[in-house]
Structure 1
């Protein structure tokens, strides 16, 4: 057997070779009618549909685009709505911070910080239940139940007038919100190709930035209401919670549970929607919990790399998310100015998310984009630590604060990157759970390094965040190298089984590019026959890791 370095050319070399391939047309040559049948028992839900197909299905570029448009129209809008409502409700505490909640509720010491952290303590504790619910229950109905409950919880927060009442409400908010991001990652994986997942993950994460603009405007308006019986912070809680309760029925009626059961897919479209995901080698979903996949996730170094990177991204996000308006207020602005000046932060976050997603798909690599996104908050926080807090520095400080907004693009890129590199439904869900445990821990720690008595400089918090971004950039580079090594190991496995070592990962190519590359792979005998067997990435030698 030849040396691994010689037998398996790098994936980047393969892509470059494919990019310069000339004269290859996406003709759909007849394929054998003898096709590999996915395992139905204990396998992927897609296997139940595809088991009835007697011939291999070839999805043309035109059909691929048509199905993609249908999925985007029926699935994505509901996801955008739910994630927007979640961010609005979770961020409501930040909006109330400049409208007297600290004084009105007699919060002292680190009590305000704990009102932010307790949400993530609850998410941390309930993450295992959330993961089990995603596997065992219809995901659309599971999301509806939790969204309705957290909306009612936020509305009820208006009745809380002290630390104990607010802490209890925030605890239940965290319990019900625990499932949303992990569920959305599972939904994104079951509906879109890996290239498409980057943009869709960016889209629902961008709701965070939209929420910052909308929430600031609403809070600005409510803050002007003069009512002795309803304080501004209570009005903000009441509005946000009632809005969620009013809109959640849309989730029940419009969010499908899976491609295998979606009502908007008629006739052969269901088969096409599933078959177009074959290139992912990740399947869609399985309702069988597999303990061997669960334990494999904890034997996988990648799991701990994702954990570390998301913690390092979430820690600054949690602190600045809770104290953002107070940080601006510390520059010398009043309550209403602080709320309004927080709006551009949300707009810039949305820009950073979509530019990051575009770059990822442009260069077909994730880790350099994450490193690039880390450089901006490193620069912004360093400048904020150096500048004074006199009135003459207000403009410069605000500009530096806006540079920090690029950090909003880091977590969505990690959300998109990590799930692309694990398969087997139980392993995917377990990896995602570990991933969000890290986010919870980061968001618990983040607000604790900021204290209300540290204003206006908040030096310990900014120093902590600066260290996190530097270490995150280093880890992202290491993870890219490790995934490159794993691809070489996968190539060696394919060789040992008599397959072609060098294959093109069609799941990260455009529809037209994928059609040409798929024909090249099929001529070499690579047809991703195990894509819906619910195998892990360690078990499926056809799986290609995304750098």
Structure 2
């Protein structure tokens, strides 16, 4: 039997560390339901263990060194291949492929339309199949499509390949979110999600440099845009092969970790109350997703910000060019956009982690692109105002931090494997819907002001700011509801959310309270965290604001 005597909590801990008991493997094996999470079955087979802070931090370090670079790379190449159309827009693709203005807009929208169509399939595959294999295969397939796009010289062929590209890329964003939920505790997830989302900004920098260099390569045999497509596609395929080799499917199957390290990697996730991986598709989780009001609110939020993002990402370089810059200068001036996005994404995630509030951070972030859009709408387009217009454009790019914040916010407030995947699918369907609509609000005929698109963006930014204030109020209501349910079941009404515990909470009586709370749910059969329950049916689930 496990010794439940309270133990002294070590003082040294990182800000992201959480309370972990200190004892050795018990060897006690519990019987678990066949509907339980795979992590529960793993613990039942290997015995419950406890571990020191030092052991947990070492396991976390090894996870960060192996898993994080792989999902960073996958998201980077997805953004690079997806954005390649924007990079080649100023190198004559419209003339070389005989594209009309609305056809170019549709090439931006069709990718997200494909992602929208294939999100339900992506959710199903991520539940039923090994995650690492699914992602690696998708990377290779969309990289191949990106390379093949070089052979397309008319609207029909470009549209078809962009649709295939989007179909395979439908996997990557929900996959990265699933991996984040699967490997890290909730207190660690916001920053990790910001790292892979920041690859969007890195893509701006690297993609602009690559485009600038390849754009100077003169050839009488192929167009410049074809060279860029080939380069991006081939690199992606090579990365995909490496991803298949090195990416584990779950913490339970991470062969690069020792057996004890795998047990620690699984055990430390129990406090999330979210599960790890079930490999079982459960229709009751799906139904709860579609009837969950907070999921609907996040869906509206992600649609709003994606409408703005879709238009700016597709027409950004053209807007810069219409400020009065040459084609190559437009590329160079787009590079700071990437640095801004990296800084604002990681910086806002750090702030949200420190203050424990995402809604207010989202509202604050929405103010920046609102100001930028107003500048772009009101400042006259002339040589004297280039600097002010550029400042407005850069402020608009701060919108890039809102999408990953919404992803992390939704993911941290969703429990149950199937519900996590279907909820993520809904978020990305919202993202795709917005990105389909966004480019269609812009038209080269509206150059150089692009007033219809910018006014629509302004409305979206204000909507995002309002929702950032309203959603936490509903989450507070859900927490009070769960507290009452716990009391009705004879449990403690006010409990500590161990998954969000920080160093400042690990002192004195608070540390003892956390330890007692942890011991109360020590056994698998008494712990809802690994029973694969959707969050609304799990009274122990605590929502974060």
- Given the two structures, how large is their TM-score scaled by the length of structure 2? 0.92
Q: Distance in 1 between matches of 2:186 and 2:452?
A: 39
Who is 1:43 aligned against? 36
Q: Distance in 1 between matches of 2:477 and 2:49?
A: 33
Q: Are 2:525 and 1:527 equivalent residues in the alignment?
A: no
Who is 2:108 aligned against? 116
- Of the candidates 148, 160, 176, which is equivalent to residue 184 of structure 1? 176
Q: Distance in 2 between matches of 1:133 and 1:219?
A: 35
Q: Are 2:540 and 1:542 equivalent residues in the alignment?
A: yes
Q: Are 2:228 and 1:230 equivalent residues in the alignment?
A: no
SS in 2 for 1:422: coil
Q: Distance in 2 between matches of 1:365 and 1:36?
A: 39
Shift, 1:60, TM fit: 2.4
1:464-475 alignment, distance < 5 Å: 464-475=456-467
Shift, 1:509, TM fit: 2.5
Who is 1:171 aligned against? 163
SS in 2 for 1:228: coil
Structure 2 gaps, min length 5: 1-17
Q: Are 2:138 and 1:140 equivalent residues in the alignment?
A: no
Contact 1:222/1:235 (8 A) holds in 2:
yes
Q: What CA deviation, in whole Å up to 9, does each residue of 1:373-413 have, x standing for no partner?
A: 10000010011101011111111101111111211100010
SS in 2 for 1:260: helix
Q: Are 2:471 and 1:479 equivalent residues in the alignment?
A: yes
Shift, 1:313, TM fit: 1.2
Who is 2:81 aligned against? 89
Who is 1:460 aligned against? 452
Shift, 1:106, TM fit: 1.1
Shift, 1:129, TM fit: 1.0
Contact 1:80/1:207 (8 A) holds in 2:
yes
SS in 2 for 1:51: helix
Who is 1:7 aligned against? none
Who is 1:336 aligned against? 328
Query: Matched residue pairs, number?
Result: 522
Who is 1:447 aligned against? 439
Shift, 1:231, TM fit: 1.1
Q: What CA deviation, in whole Å up to 9, does each residue of 1:138-164 have, x standing for no partner?
A: 111111111111111111111111111
Q: What CA deviation, in whole Å up to 9, does each residue of 1:330-387 have, x standing for no partner?
A: 1000100000100000100000001111111110111011111100000100111010
Q: Distance in 1 between matches of 2:475 and 2:96?
A: 52
Who is 1:364 aligned against? 356
1:427-446 alignment, distance < 5 Å: 427-446=419-438
Q: Distance in 1 between matches of 2:174 and 2:392?
A: 32
Higher mean Cα deviation, 508-517 or 523-532?
A: 508-517
CA, structure 1 residues 389+140, in 2 after alignment: closer, same or farther (shift >3 Å)?
same
CA, structure 1 residues 66+124, in 2 after alignment: closer, same or farther (shift >3 Å)?
same
Shift, 1:109, TM fit: 3.2
CA, structure 1 residues 31+140, in 2 after alignment: closer, same or farther (shift >3 Å)?
closer
SS in 2 for 1:384: helix
Shift, 1:515, TM fit: 8.9
Q: Distance in 2 between matches of 1:332 and 1:27?
A: 59
Q: Are 2:101 and 1:103 equivalent residues in the alignment?
A: no
Alignment RMSD: 2.0
Who is 1:11 aligned against? none
CA, structure 1 residues 178+515, in 2 after alignment: closer, same or farther (shift >3 Å)?
farther
Q: What CA deviation, in whole Å up to 9, does each residue of 1:207-265 have, x standing for no partner?
A: 11001000000100111111111111111111111111122111011111001111112
- Given the two structures, how large is their TM-score scaled by the length of structure 1? 0.92
Shift, 1:267, TM fit: 2.2
Q: Distance in 2 between matches of 1:229 and 1:370?
A: 49
Shift, 1:302, TM fit: 1.2
Q: Distance in 2 between matches of 1:134 and 1:77?
A: 20
Shift, 1:35, TM fit: 8.2
Q: Distance in 2 between matches of 1:518 and 1:319?
A: 49
Structure 1 gaps, min length 5: 1-24
1:108-507 alignment, distance < 5 Å: 108-507=100-499
Contact 1:500/1:526 (8 A) holds in 2:
no
CA, structure 1 residues 61+323, in 2 after alignment: closer, same or farther (shift >3 Å)?
same
Shift, 1:32, TM fit: 13
SS in 2 for 1:52: helix
Who is 1:4 aligned against? none
